[in-house]
Amino acid sequence: MVDINNLSEYLVTMVQDRQILHPQTNEDSLWDLLNFFTQDKLLLKVSAASDFNKISGRTLASYIKHQFERPSCIDKLFKLALRLEDTDLESEFI
């Protein structure tokens, strides 16, 4: 089993203001990972019971902080804020 919480925190810490680009799509692969684990509110509520298969709000906030200078960051920030509203991660993210 992969500890998504620690993996995501490690990746965000190591990457900081750089990006991990997918070689074919040139999309930010780290954002794709964070996006996948935050896109469904039901998944967020179910994963809140486990520390292993969720991404912490602090990790998401750290990612946004490091990527803030990029043009796509504002869109990502609003998406995350709306998704995390009324979830356990909301207090960690803000």
Chain segment 32-79, per-residue pLDDT in tens:
988 888 888 777 777 666 666 678 888 988 998 998 888 888 888 888
DSSP tally for the chain: helices H, then strands E: 6, 0
Q: What end-to-end distance do the CA atoms of the chain give, in Å?
A: 29
Query: For 81, how many CA atoms within 13 A lie in the half-sphere containing its CB?
Result: 8
The whole-number average pLDDT for the span 18-35 is: 90
| Residues spanned by the domain of 26 | 4-93
pLDDT at 24 over 90: yes
Q: What is the largest CA-CA distance in the chain?
A: 36
Query: d(Cα 39, Cα 75) in Å, to the nearest integer?
Result: 14
pLDDT given for residue 15 in this prediction:
92
Residues 29, 20: contact at Cβ < 8 Å?
yes
pLDDT at 12 over 90: yes
Taking the model in full, what pTM does it have?
0.78
DSSP secondary structure letter of residue 21: B
pLDDT given for residue 50 in this prediction:
67
Q: Structural domain tally of the chain?
A: 1
